[in-house]
Amino acid sequence: MFGRVLVSAAKGVSVVPRRTFINSEAVKKFAFNASAFNQYGLYHDDALYESEDVKEALRRLPANLLDERVFRIQRAFQCSVLKTVLPKDQWPTFEEDREKGRYLQEYLNEVIMERKEKEMWAKNA
């Protein structure tokens, strides 16, 4: 196996790395379904721990996205109190979660970059 990679690399042929266990789409889907957040109608960013950075990112979130987030969290809390889950047709799919479930990441990355910049300026001052 290793010899073939060297020979093909020596001939100028590009070598495509194989899928790894962690990079597997099937494993990601399994983890998504095993987390059970989708059974309560939650997206990925709805279940983030609310650190100071997340709180600041939520403050910057547009009102319509924040309202949708609050609705999803309240609905999940209600399901939890009633010890039930949503009907399966209301569960977000893995693809929907990938598309819409990372709504906070852009704002969160911006907040983290600003915090690091402030720390750097404070350190240099």
Name all domains of the chain by residue range, CATH numbers in brackets.
36-124 (1.10.1090.10)
Nearest to 36 by CA among 99, 81, 88, 98: 88
Angstrom distance (rounded) from CA 110 to CA 36 = 29
Nearest to 57 by CA among 115, 105, 117: 105
Q: Write down the residue that tokens 């709504």 correspond to.
A: 103
Query: Given this model, what pLDDT does residue 1 score?
Result: 47
pTM of the model: 0.77
Q: What are 116's two structure tokens? A: 């690091």
HSE value, Cβ hemisphere, 13 Å, CA-based, for 19: 8
The predicted-structure confidence for 77-118, as pLDDT tens digits, reads as follows 999 999 999 999 999 999 999 999 999 999 999 999 999 999
| Angle (nearest 5°) at CA 65 between 62 and 66 | 80
Is residue 68 a contact partner of residue 62, using CB atoms and an 8 Å limit? no
The predicted-structure confidence for 4-47, as pLDDT tens digits, reads as follows 444 445 555 565 566 666 678 888 899 898 999 999 999 999 99
Q: How far is CA 9 from the centre of its chain?
A: 36
